Amino acid sequence: MFLIYSLIYILLLPLLILRDLLTLDKNKLKTIQQKLGLNITIVENQTIWLHGVSLGEIKILSPLAQKLSDQGQNILITSTTNTGLKELSKNFSNSAIEILPFPYDLGFAHKKIISNYKVSKIILFESEFWPNLLNVAKNLNVVSLNTTISDTSFRRFKMLKAFSRQLFSKIDLFLAQSRLTIDRLEFFGVKKIKFIGNIKINPENYSVDPNKKNHYQKILGTEKLNVILGSSHEGEEIFVVEALAKMDINLILAPRHPERVSKVVKELENFGLKGIKMSSLQGEVNTKINDNEILVFDEVGDLINLYAAGDLAIVAGSINYTKGHNFMEPVFVNTLSITGSKLDNYRQIKEDLCDTNIIETFSEQDELRSLISKYQNVTIRNEKSSAQNDALKSYSGSYDEIIKFIDEL
């Protein structure tokens, strides 16, 4: 089965390279070379390789990389997307920590990185189960960190049960984020599992820049309830706008993918509204937002500071999109959080927090309107925010515990 996968992947490789040529921000040739295992640095000491797919995962892995580096470990950290690589450059450009784009899933590319960096351990975040990487890393210590298996992924893995059992057997330790994930891993015969909680739900990951928070607060003002739609996907902005456009609130849209910002502004125009990019309001204070105007957030990687400046966050990726996003992020910065009901990637915490009404969810537009209307009452909003903060404490994963498990391998 691994051979069939490799053959299919090689056939698709020209399309993957073409995609990168069209979408990579800069240094396209060098990046593609590195993704093919070329132009790779050679180091003298053993290295721990950490990988997270995109911006959100890199924000979580960066503190872990820094802690391991501070202990004297050589660290390589990789990401797949432009936003993830930008975040790495921002965090570690003047650091001893090495940065690379994650390679194509080709055995020779992985071998080159493992050889040149003298990789001894590989830490893969959440559901990054790359068959060829795991195949060539069979003599290394491989950890799946914050492991999650969504409903969709579980169905796919069950369809290829023998292959999935073989794939998971190549990982030395799973640090699972939920009891549900443990049950699903055990279905495939996995025994090397530790429950650590969800490391995404850890206040260490979310530091607020007071200057940026203050800047956004000045733009938003305090006359109306500031409602932020965070990490929205295609169609979710219009769903929320239709539901809330007639309410006396400030609505701020923050698309998950920054390349969609201009499209969202255009969609608002088609809806008879004017979208105003937040970046165009630099230096402005208490901006008067007219009834036919909606702010669109276009500051990459800065959503946590916007959350901190708001009163209430609607965490999207859970309305049209089904996987959901981390609906506890606003809680870290003392902002009330609600979310849509489609939360495949957060099943366990949904059962514990959403089904018990600590984090309220909605499926229909009238349900969303009702929630926003209720939380215009500051007393009710503060009471619910306090309950969410109390719940947060019992779900936080620990970096120190993770490092202990990594050291023991």
- Render pLDDT for 188-234 as a digit per residue (tens, 0 to 9): 999 999 998 888 877 777 789 999 999 999 889 888 999 999 999 99
Q: Judge whether 78 and 57 are in contact, CB under 8 Å.
A: no
The rounded mean pLDDT for the chain is: 92
Distance of alpha carbon 129 from alpha carbon 144, whole angstroms: 8
**Which pTM was predicted?**
0.72
| Long-range contact set of residues 40-46: C-beta below 8 Å, sequence gap at least 24 | 40/100, 40/112, 40/113, 40/116, 40/117, 41/98, 41/116, 41/117, 42/116, 42/117, 43/74, 43/98, 43/116, 43/117, 43/118, 44/118, 45/74, 45/118, 46/74, 46/118, 46/119, 46/120
Identify the pLDDT of residue 287.
Answer: 62
Rounded mean pLDDT, 23-35: 91
Neighbours of 161 (CB within 10 A): 12
Predicted local confidence at residue 17, as pLDDT: 96
Rounded distance between C-alpha atoms, residue 350 and residue 327, angstroms: 10
- pLDDT score for 352: 80
What does the pLDDT look like over 367-383, one tens digit per residue? 999 999 999 999 999 99
Task: Return all residues near 281 (Cβ < 8 A) that are at least 6 apart.
Answer: 219, 287, 295
The pLDDT of residue 165 is above 80: yes
Q: What is the pLDDT of residues 225-251, one digit of tens each?
A: 999 999 999 999 999 999 998 899 999
Domains parsed from the chain with CATH numbers: 22-204+397-408 (3.40.50.11720), 209-392 (3.40.50.2000)
* CB-based contact 334:116 (threshold 8 Å): no
- The pLDDT tens digits of the residues spanning 254-293 come to 999 989 999 999 999 988 999 999 988 866 655 667 778 8
Kind and range of the H or E run holding 41:
none
**Cα separation, 363 vs 367, whole angstroms:** 7
d(CA 9, CA 108): 13
In 94-159, where does DSSP find H-type helix?
Answer: 107-116, 131-136, 151-159
Q: Which of 86-95, 120-129, 170-179 has the lowest average pLDDT? A: 86-95
Does residue 147 have a pLDDT over 90?
Answer: yes
37 near 108, Cβ under 8 Å? yes
Are 299 and 281 in contact by the 8 Å Cβ rule? The answer is: no
Alpha-carbon distance of 160 to 23, in angstroms, equals 32
Strand 193-195 and strand 173-176: the pairing is: parallel
In the structure, what pLDDT confidence band is assigned to residue 152 with cuts at 50, 70 and 90? confident
Does residue 323 or residue 134 have the better pLDDT?
134
Residue 396 has what pLDDT?
67
Spatial CA neighbour of 196 closest among 353, 393, 402, 409: 402
- Write down the H helix ranges in 24-72: 28-35, 55-70
Q: Which two tokens stand for residue 90?
A: 């921002």
Lowest model confidence (mean pLDDT) among 30-39, 245-254, 389-398? 389-398
Question: Do 110 and 170 meet the contact criterion of CB atoms below 8 Å apart?
Answer: no
Longest dimension (CA), the chain: 63
Phi-psi map region of 134: left, alpha, beta (phi>0 left; psi -120 to 50 alpha):
alpha
